[in-house]
Chain A
Amino acid sequence: MSQYALRAAGLTKRYGRLTALDDLTLDVPAGEVFGFLGPNGAGKSTTIRLLLGLARPTAGQAWIFGTEAADVVRAHRMLAYVPADVALWPQLTGAEILHLQAQTGPGTDLAYRDELVERFALDPSKPARTYSTGNRQKVALIAAFATRAPLLVLDEPTSGLDPLMEREFRAAVGQARDHGQTVFLSSHQLAEVEAVCDRVGILRTGRLVEVATIDRLRGLHRSEVTVVYRGAAPGLSAVPGVETVEATGESRLRFTLTGSPAPALRALAAADVTALTVREPSLEEIFLDFYGTGAVR
């Protein structure tokens, strides 16, 4: 088995003149929880459709554990999928759908499935037409986690879940990680991605603009530094990486810092600094940095 759960090389999808995904190259090692971020229409779902062989790439290729994504019979034995907008057969009950998925899917741990039904508080005796968005999502999540497949592809899986259920979801992802499963999580819930993901990829208008661990992403982005000093203010103008310096009170300064902190530290050393706090940016701030102004890159 390949050491990569998922690989994409030059993966491109065009719909007529629209390029939905442009030259995506990405490796997700086995055992990693990978967050896939991007605003609406960035190409996240298109990427997943290509990875699952539901759509055919215009160019490039993708592999699931070394098997070509187009060979769905072999590739899908190693994965389970939760779609973004779960549609179920309306006449089947939850239990019937879970049975069908278990019988036709890559194999299911029935004991774990029953446990998940309990944990997600799903009433499986109801016909799917009566399920709310969240309940449909639960059915798909239970079916996917219960397979214990080596790769879980989750496309915005918690958009309809309440906070309690989202906690269960995070716990289930944690258990999957402990099992050595790989999770490919596309999401808008940045707190969730921050909580469960090892690494994230950020997609913008069909292009992958960043792939990094969350720690590294933070390092790459603006931290907020607050300084309390005695006497003369530190001279921070023209220090590389320092921006938006503002006085927030008497003998207090706040500025943002991007990149290496060394030049700023040298500048601060010249002053009589009595307190220093550094606040790392949240993923949300990083995300907004990427998309909020459109000025970055």
Chain B
Amino acid sequence: MSIAAVSPTVTARQATSTPGRAVTRLAVRQVRRGGLIVVALTGGITALVAGTYAEVMADPAAAGGLQALAGNPAIRMLFGPPVGLDTAGGFTVWRVGTFLAVMLAAWSVLATTRITRGEEDSGRWDLLLAGRVPLRTVLIRHLAAVAAVPVAAGSAVTAVLLAFGTATSGSLVHGAGTALLGVFFVAVAALTAQIFPTRTPATGAAVTVIGVGLLARMVGDGVTELGWLHWLSPFGLLGLSGPYVQDRVVPLVLLLVAAAVTAVGALAAAGRREVRAGLVASRPARRPRLALLGSVEGFAVRRVLRPLAGWTIGIGGYYLLIGLTAVSVTGFLADNPALANEAAKAGFADMGSIAGVTATLFAILAMPAGGFVAVRMGAFVAAETDRRLMMSAAGPISRVRLIGAEIAATAGAVAVLVTAAGSATWAGVAVTGGDFSLVEALTGVWNVLPIVGLSLGAAVFVTGWAPRWVGVVGGLPTTGGFLLLVIAESIAAPGWVRDLSPFAHLAPVPLVDADGTASTVMLGIAAVLVVAGLAGYQRRDLRS
């Protein structure tokens, strides 16, 4: 496709133009904001935890309790194997290594499918690929742009750990492992984006790989005979590398090879398919399914059902696992009252009863639930931005009803989501013969609904006044609030800073009764935010 034969002057101009670099710049533009946040979070959280190590370990009793607790199979299953808790580096790896790895993996998957399959699906790549850069090159340059983020995050981890004076080899192994894990999931998402013709199943398949990988590691950690499962899971390989203890390189090399093979597979698949198609063909025609297409409210419910099913499987699976391990954790501590006391000093309060264990873990349910709410309102804004909403907005439907249908469907869906998490926990405890009623489980999970309501309120408010920010602001009360609490407690910030976090006002239900006042205040604030958001949405121009 050269115009060189036609015009020599064009050739001269072409020689100096760099279409490949322009594609890279395009890809970087699409990931730079999220990428910077991810790198800052990874480095920041690592720094916070590494900084608190001295404080925790200053109390020998707390340190001993922590060490003993970490030996419990169930705790190993949830937090990962505690290796090298006697150093600041090892402690940091254990406390937040898995959390950061999962966050990085999730971001890598979402960003990769968004800027590759998502852009292609929307038709924006048609123009790009009509240019001189072929699909494979476009893909390589996009993958490089996304992969730069986990590499930067891993480098940040290493730099922070070195800055806190931890062992060089350990910080290098941990940083490299974190980076490689992210890169591996960039490759996985790239592959699923070639297999499936649309973004949603591509993302779903890659997220499933994260889930299965985590599960394999958890089972490998909890069941000694199945320890070999570690070798099959990227998270397991990360554990096998043993930063600050064994400092093994072989698992990381394996992870690198896996990432490279997957990436090569993705590029090979890209060469074997048509643009806008996947290796799996989408069904060309089907009979109409008219259920829930009778009103905007019904349609809002219809659109939330599939995402709800996906989130319910993921979150329900995690809470089922918590239920299954709760008896073991509490039994272990009940047999060692002194240890339970020391565990409490180390920040694991009330781990001696199922109600205590679940209350702690139900609180963090607010984060994925708030994320779900933010993502759903983000999808509503996206439908407005790319004009899918236009035909409904041109119908005899008020703006309030249009967004109200979405708010109601989202609120209903998130209630189902947390109820499913509570039911799964109860089922897990019941199967293992624990003493835990369904009512306790449900009051526990429903207790986080006011915080989730704050997220919904924030998302609706931003949809009305600054729709670009719906994803970030929607997650602020839950994920931001939780981080604020953790940070405030870690750096002993003034009480009012800590009190800004809604989690500071969350009663540990079912261990104690719900705090009616706090719940009412949160729901009140949420209602005010929703009303203000509705007012803004009614007044503003639709984006299109």
Contacts and interface: CB of A to CB of B under 8 A. Distances in A.
Interface of A: 49, 52, 54-56, 72-77, 79-81, 83, 85-90, 92-93, 95-97, 99-101, 103-106, 123-127, 129-130, 140, 143, 153
B170 to A, nearest CB: 48
7 contacts: A49-B542, A73-B397, A87-B388, A99-B290, A101-B395, A104-B295, A104-B299
A52 B392 contact: no
Interface in B264-314: 282-290, 293-296, 299
B282 A76 contact: no
Interface in B478-495: none
Nearest to B390: A83
List 7 A-B pairs, minimum CB-CB distance, nearest first: A81-B394, A55-B541, A87-B387, A95-B288, A125-B285, A76-B396, A77-B396
A125 B388 CA distance: 19
Nearest to B288: A95
B168 interface: no
A52 B394 contact: yes
Contact of B541 (A56, A89, A127): A56
Contacts of B383: 89
B451 to A, nearest CB: 31
B282 A127 contact: yes
A93 B387 contact: no
Contacts of A73: 396-398
B274 to A, nearest CB: 13
A182 to B, nearest CB: 16
Contact of A129 (B282, B295, B395): B282
A79 B396 CA distance: 9
Given A88-B391, A99-B293, A125-B287, 19 more contacts: A52-B394, A56-B539, A56-B540, A74-B396, A76-B395, A76-B396, A81-B390, A83-B394, A85-B387, A87-B386, A89-B383, A90-B121, A93-B285, A93-B286, A100-B299, A103-B295, A125-B286, A129-B282, A130-B284
A106 B396 contact: yes
Interface of B is mostly: loop
B410 interface: no
Contacts of B395: 76, 101, 104-106
A76 B394 CA distance: 7
Nearest to A107: B396
B198 interface: yes
A54 B542 contact: yes
Contact of B284 (A74, A83, A101, A126): A126
Nearest to A75: B396
A123 B299 CA distance: 22
A143 B391 contact: yes
Interface of B: 121, 198, 282-290, 293-296, 299, 383, 386-388, 390-399, 539-542, 544
A54 B396 contact: no
A86 B544 CA distance: 11
Contacts of A90: 121, 198
Contacts of B286: 93, 125, 127
A132 to B, nearest CB: 11
B95 to A, nearest CB: 41
Contacts of A55: 541-542
Nearest to A93: B288
B426 to A, nearest CB: 34
A172 to B, nearest CB: 18
B542 A140 contact: no
B388 A89 contact: yes
Nearest to B199: A90
B409 to A, nearest CB: 15
A125 B288 contact: yes
A127 B288 CA distance: 10
Contacts of B387: 83, 85, 87
B118 to A, nearest CB: 12
A205 B396 CA distance: 31
A145 B318 CA distance: 51
B124 to A, nearest CB: 13
A129 B296 CA distance: 21
A90 B118 CA distance: 12
A96 B293 contact: yes
A80 B394 CA distance: 7
Contacts of A127: 282-283, 286
Contact of B394 (A54, A93, A95): A54
Contacts of B397: 72-73, 76, 104
A83 B391 contact: yes
